[in-house]
Amino acid sequence: MQEIIRKISKGTRFNQIYLKKNEGFGFEPGKTVIVMPVLEVIKKDSNLFEYNVKLNNIKKEIAKKIFENINESGHCENILITGSFLEEGFDFNDIDIIIIDSKGINEKNLKEKIEESIGIKAHLIFIEAEMLNKGIERDPLFRLMIGKYVSVKRITFSRKININYKLLDAYLVKDHNLIDCFDILSIRERMKLLRDFIGIKLFSEGKNVSLESIKKEIEKMFGRETIEKLFYYGDISARQKFLKIYEKEFKMFQNKIIENAAKQIYRDCKQHNSS
Between 59-63, 79-83, 151-155, 263-267, the lowest mean confidence (pLDDT) is in 263-267
pLDDT at 39: 44
Other beta carbons less than 10 A from residue 148's beta carbon: 19
| Mean pLDDT, residues 173-182 | 93
How many residues are there in the chain? 275
**Distance from C-alpha of 73 to C-alpha of 247, rounded to nearest angstrom:** 48
**Distance from C-alpha of 16 to C-alpha of 30, rounded to nearest angstrom:** 15
Q: 261 or 274, which is more confident?
A: 261
| Mean pLDDT, residues 70-76 | 92
| Mean pLDDT, residues 151-179 | 90
pLDDT at 140: 92
Confidence of residue 107 (pLDDT cuts 50, 70, 90): very high
Burial of 161 (0-12, 13-18, 19+ CB in 10 A): middle
Per-residue pLDDT for 213 more than 90? yes
HSE-CB of 197 using CA atoms within 13 angstroms: 26
Side chain identity at residue 240, one-letter code: Q
Q: pLDDT tens-digit profile of 220-246? A: 999 999 998 888 777 878 899 999 999
Per-residue pLDDT for 216 more than 60? yes
Q: Pairing mode, if any, of strands 94-100 and 121-127?
A: parallel
Q: Are the CB atoms for 178 and 246 separated by under 8 Å?
A: yes
pLDDT at 31: 64
Q: 32 or 217, which is more confident?
A: 217
267 φ/ψ angles, rounded to the nearest 5 degrees? -65, -45
Confidence of residue 40 (pLDDT cuts 50, 70, 90): very low
HSE-CB of 252 using CA atoms within 13 angstroms: 8
| Mean pLDDT computed over every residue of the chain | 85
pLDDT at 32: 59
List, in order of start, the domains of the chain with CATH numbers: 46-151 (3.30.460.10), 165-274 (no CATH)
Model confidence, pTM? 0.73
Burial of 119 (0-12, 13-18, 19+ CB in 10 A): exposed
**Distance from C-alpha of 135 to C-alpha of 204, rounded to nearest angstrom:** 15
Q: 31 or 271, which is more confident?
A: 271
